[in-house]
Amino acid sequence: MHVVIMGCGRLGSTLAQNLETRGHSVAVIDQNSDAFRRLGADFGGITVTGIGFDRDVLRSAGIERADAFAAVSSGDNSNIISARLARETFGVSRVVARIYDARRAQVYERLGIPTVATIRWAADRMVRHLVPEGTVEVFRDPTSVVSIVEVPLHRDWVGRTLKALEEVTGARVAYLMRFGMGTLGTASTVIQDGDQVFMLVTDDTVGTVLDLASGSQREGH
């Protein structure tokens, strides 16, 4: 793959080094030529000094043959403009933008531009370390909206299907652990004693899902 990265700060330079280590060709754009020092003497990719949403600059970085584009400069506006330009003008299929403002991130997601809302994600992770709430969270998406949590089940769920669990809780089962192995269950999968069930939730729904899953289901059995 050929990947174009706009922004050679800590994130951009680390991303470029990681991609090059994996065998991909990389081009990095930054307005400040001194920023390229972060890439190290061994970096074999392309460096282009200029504005990341300038079409000629993008062409110099190989945007017309790029398989992916990452906008990780320090400016939200610059990132989203360059990301949209890469996708809509040059037809790059894989585009992602780093956004600091979580509200903007939601808007851009609706426009079809995947975003990483770093401030919101980092703040959420900090809170969960500082004030643990007893929920075992194994994944949270970059926009900090959707997470996967382990859902402790009441013993009454044993012998019932995952479909029944989803219907009662209103949440989807992501996967389950059975005998120490991860399993992608189906609607007809029957819950067994000792299963660990992990479900997709949001912050608004997680409390309800946990309450319903951990409560007795004798009346609805």
pLDDT digits (tens, 9 = 90+) for 156-178: 999 999 999 999 999 999 999 98
Terminal-residue alpha carbon distance, the chain: 53
Quote the pLDDT of residue 100. 85
CB of 72 within 8 A of CB of 11?
Answer: yes
Quote the pLDDT of residue 125. 65
Give mean pLDDT, residues 4-24.
94
pLDDT at 219 over 50: no
Give the span between the Cα atoms of 54 and 31, in whole angstroms. 11
Q: What burial letters (b/e) apply to 140-167, b meaning 16+ CB within 10 Å?
A: bebbbbebbbbbebeeebeebbbebbbe
**pLDDT one-digit tens code per residue, 179-189:** 878 899 998 99
Q: Are strands 68-71 and 46-49 parallel, antiparallel or unpaired?
A: unpaired
Q: What token pair was written down for 155?
A: 């013993």
Bridge partner residues of 117 (DSSP): 99
pLDDT at 101 over 90: no
What is the overall mean pLDDT for the chain?
Answer: 88
Quote the pLDDT of residue 107. 72
Quote the pLDDT of residue 28. 98
Instruction: State pTM to two decimals.
Output: 0.64
Quote the pLDDT of residue 63. 97
Q: With left for phi above 0 and alpha for psi between -120 and 50, is residue 114 left, alpha or beta?
A: beta
Quick check: helix, strand or coil at residue 88?
helix
pLDDT at 67 over 90: yes
CB of 117 within 8 A of CB of 102?
Answer: yes
Quote the pLDDT of residue 122. 73
Percent of the chain surpassing pLDDT 90: 64
**pLDDT one-digit tens code per residue, 112-149:** 777 777 777 677 667 666 665 656 778 888 777 899 99
Give mean pLDDT, residues 19-31.
95
- Smallest Cα–Cα separation from 209: which of 147, 156, 123? 147
Residue 218 has phi, psi (to 5 degrees) of -60, -40
Q: What token pair was written down for 119?
A: 């401030």
CB of 51 within 8 A of CB of 81?
Answer: no
